[in-house]
Amino acid sequence: MNLQGDALELVSDFFKILAEPNRLRILCALKSGPQTAIAISSAIGLKPAEITQQLNIMAQVRIVRRIKAGGVIYYEITDSNVLFLCDLISDSLVNS
């Protein structure tokens, strides 16, 4: 690995965002495609306000994005590599 300067900071910030278990739960809920905060709330058992707060944090670093359709806001994962990375780390930790 050859991380230096800005790249080092970006990777560090990215992993800090993913270090929150509820954010990982939200990503798991979004695996199936775009969903509203209320749908995610029902799927993982957190209050919609908590879901929205975490989604806003992930949107700021472009892990998720908002899609407006009519008066409804949906959220989706911006890059499937995020899921691949989470699966890779999970598999490595479980199998070691």
CATH of 5-94, one of 3.40.50.880, 1.20.120.550, 1.10.10.10, 3.90.105.10: 1.10.10.10
pLDDT tens for the chain, 96 residues long, are 677 778 888 888 888 999 999 999 999 999 999 999 999 999 999 999 999 999 999 999 899 999 999 999 999 999 988 989 888 888 888 887
pLDDT the model gives residue 5: 79
Helix, strand, coil % (nearest 5) of the chain? Answer: 60, 15, 25
Residue type, 80: S
Task: Give strand pairing partners of 76.
Answer: 65
**Where are the domains positioned within the chain?**
5-94
Looking at residue 55, its amino acid is: L
pLDDT at 73: 95
Is-contact 59 65, C-beta < 8 A? Answer: yes
Pairing of strands 64-69, 72-77: antiparallel
The pLDDT assigned to 1 comes to: 67
- The model carries a pTM of 0.87
Cross-strand bridge partners of residue 35:
75
